[in-house]
């Protein structure tokens, strides 16, 4: 019985670990997204500069 409970405990621990991993992954994804956004913004800036 005790062994089974221990096993489930480790399983939940691994599950939480994978969850944190996915969370960090989404975070990096949002970071890259913001980076591309800033890049497009600078592009538009240069465009307006050439317009003048």
Provide the percentage of residues in the chain whose pLDDT is more than 70: 100
Local structure of residue 52 (DSSP, 8 states): -
Q: Give the span between the Cα atoms of 23 and 32, in whole angstroms.
A: 14
Which residue do the tokens 């939480």 mark? 16
Domain layout of the chain by residue ranges: 1-52
| pLDDT tens for each residue of 31-52 | 999 999 999 999 999 999 999 8
The pTM score is 0.63
């Amino acid at each position: 019985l005790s062994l089974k409970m221990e096993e489930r405990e480790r399983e939940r621990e691994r599950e939480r670990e994978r969850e944190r991993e996915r969370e960090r992954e989404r975070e990096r994804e949002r970071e890259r997204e913001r980076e591309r956004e800033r890049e497009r913004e600078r592009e538009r800036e240069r465009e307006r500069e050439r317009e003048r």
